[in-house]
A and B are shown apart, each in its own frame.
Chain A
Amino acid sequence: MQIYRSHVLVCGGTGCTSSNSEKIIKEFEVQLSKEKIDNEVKVVKTGCFGLCAQGPVVVVYPEGAMYTMVKVEDVKDIVSEHLVKGRIVKRLLPKDNMDIDKDDASLEKVEFFKKQVRIALRNCGVINPEDIDEYIAFDGYKALGKVLTEMTPDQVIDSVKKSGLRGRGGGGFPTGLKWEFTAKSQNQQKYVLCNADEGDPGAFMDRSVLEGDPHSVIEAMTIAGYAVGASQGYIYVRAEYPIAVKRLQIAIKQAKEYGLLGNNIFDSGFSFDLEIRLGAGAFVCGEETALMTSIEGKRGEPRPRPPFPAVKGLWQKPTLLNNVETYANIPVIFLKGAEWFASIGTAKSKGTKVFALGGKINNTGLVEVPMGTTMREVIYEIGGGIPNGKKFKAAQTGGPSGGCIPASHIDVPIDYDSLIELGSMMGSGGLIVMDEDNCMVDIAKFFLEFTVDESCGKCPPCRIGTKRMLEILERITDGKGEEGDIEKLEILAKNIKASALCGLGQTAPNPVLSTLRYFRNEYEAHVKDKKCLAGVCKSLMRYVIQPDACKKCGICARNCPVNCIEGDKTKAYVIDQEKCIKCGTCMEKCPFKAIFKNA
């Protein structure tokens, strides 16, 4: 085996790939062979490091120096300076890491990583996900070996129960119990499924795990198969994630070649096979019964429960379904012990949670923190705060099923129960930060548009009810809100929650209820004063030219697409509010900043 003195890890996640990391890898190979050190330094394409905001990311070991926003032109410097001469290229280090010397340039010193604990993401950004040997070198498939050769299915389920692991897909149901229910169902044929249909817009945790560490999911599903007595598994993955699908295919193929999937694994007599099924773009298919209907090849409509999937699931057989992040935790529970896992987190929420930080935050990307970490720590210490000196307004968790956490509750410890108490939910892990420029009524409307679009249409409360709610919200943001609209929203929300068939419908009103709870004044301002305080809702805002600041150049009038600005060299220009379509072109084009948005 070839020994290398240095390893260059280049992020090959979706974020960094779209900012050219493929070309960077090629350039490294060119430069390394030019310097004739290509047999001493190995270039590895890894999964996501998490710091997507500063991608493409390159890490050079053994120093662990992390280079951010690397351009193809920078590769030459990294090779000739760092890899040939041993000098860190300081200009490419992350900003909060600038003034340190070579001995201390390691990843852990970067503010973004300091408070993180990586269990589900343990291998992301560390190994080459397309090479099973690298996974095995990091204790991969060791848990499976231990389970199959030393433990009974009951003991396996017991360990998962003891770990306190709860479902990471949204609801937070205890994983061990789910396994136990499925194990107790008597049937010749059972199935183990993985929900990788990450539909929450603004969440990409599962994608990063699949892209960065696909074998951990395969290993965990095989363990689950052994525990519940299933010999066949399916991974239901979004078709929108081509890189994840490709790496899963490679991983399954390699696992089969190594005998880690297939017949008689580890000579234990246990056989397990795995197939990938592609989703086709329907949010409702993240709901467990709808996902199973979709794998069966039908319209992905949910079924009433009971019977629960543990009794009658896919093709009417007992079925276990967990999501990607839940599975990614499983091997570690067996490697380090259930007690170890249970020692992390809070009383009722054990372990860690991965969040996809997005929106108005400096360090957008992927973070994994122990349960109980406060929202403030995640947003300010790891996330680096709000850009452009703006004020934090709210954080949205749980996507279209969740709610907002306002600034007044920013010190809430993040765990399942605290978030529910505040009217939001953990959800799958999307965490979108909003600042003072975001209108909360508009955000509620955005989520309702999403649910109306994605409602499968099977049950009337969701199909018709959410549509009515959206119509009211459209009226309000259009400046046509009427007295009593807010109360109508509340009544509809309550009824839909009580009567919808599946989780999608039952939680669809949450974004409205939660913004009403914390930002009722914004709703009232829209309805009563016809004002959008954040200046987002077009119908409620006007563009105005400040007469004193106007230099009468006429650039605004020439650029106006509807010719609604008049004036000449002698008098200041004026916008005809009747004709204005509020496109904002005039404000954009005015060289003297004389045009303002007026709420």
Chain B
Amino acid sequence: MGDNMCCCGSADVMDQKLQEIIERYKDTNGALIPVLHEAQELYGYLPMEVQMKISEGLGITLSEIYGVVTFYTQFSLKPKGKNRISVCLGTACYVKGANHILDKLKEKLGIEVGDCTEDGKFSLDACRCIGACGLAPVMMINDDVYGRLTPDEIEGIIEKYKNRQD
């Protein structure tokens, strides 16, 4: 996943990069999903303007693109927070109390699943199994995995990211 939105320069640069992605896949069969993956990596999410540009570039109707974007959970129409928290709700984590972890996060951040805090620092998602079932319950913040969690640990972990100045 790309680091964040608009970190790598002006809108023009981003636009040029998007055109490059489209150009690279233009003649591939079934190009849409790989293009959406890379576009999301570039922008952090898939706003309508980006979908429109992909529609023009690949010659696929906007309605079809919107249909695909909303079908798959990996694609997001909303920007994500600076720190993306994702709590695993796979079976192994669930039987070990992942819902208590999620409840605690909602309480501490004051947001629901799928939302972003007002200051843009955190977004909260639930995901289905990241495959670290041996460490259940598990959550991911950006690319860091936190395993064998208990609800008491949540506050301390959040604090660590809150004060990060990067």
Interface residues of A (CB under 8 A from B): 14-15, 17-19, 52-53, 55, 198-204, 207, 239-241, 277-283, 294-300, 315, 356, 358-360, 364-365, 396, 399, 430, 432, 434, 438, 443, 446-447, 450, 456, 561, 583-584, 588
Contacts and interface: CB of A to CB of B under 8 A. Distances in A.
B37 A240 contact: no
Contact of A438 (B73, B75, B95, B100): B95
B147 interface: yes
Nearest to A239: B74
A360 B147 CA distance: 15
A201 B68 contact: no
Given A201-B91, A202-B90, A239-B37, A281 B74 contact: yes
Contacts of B103: 583
Contact of B147 (A19, A434, A447): A19
Contact of A315 (B29, B33, B135): B29
A399 B147 CA distance: 22
B21 to A, nearest CB: 14
25 contacts: A14-B130, A14-B132, A18-B145, A52-B132, A55-B134, A55-B135, A200-B91, A201-B89, A201-B91, A201-B128, A201-B129, A203-B129, A279-B72, A280-B73, A280-B75, A281-B74, A282-B72, A283-B128, A297-B29, A300-B71, A356-B92, A359-B92, A364-B136, A561-B107, A583-B103
B30 interface: yes
Interface string B127-141: 111111111101000
A430 B92 CA distance: 9
Contacts of B144: 18
B72 A19 contact: no
A588 B100 CA distance: 13
B68 A277 contact: no
Nearest to B86: A240
Given A202-B91, A277-B33, A283-B128, 9 more contacts: A14-B132, A201-B92, A240-B127, A278-B37, A281-B74, A360-B96, A364-B134, A438-B95, A583-B103
B128 A199 contact: yes
B94 A446 contact: yes
A39 B73 CA distance: 48
Contacts of B91: 200-202, 358-359, 396, 399, 430, 432, 446-447
Contacts of B134: 15, 52-53, 55, 358, 364-365
| Smallest CB-CB A-B distances: 5 pairs | A52-B134, A358-B92, A18-B145, A201-B90, A202-B91
Given A18-B147, A202-B92, A280 B130 contact: no
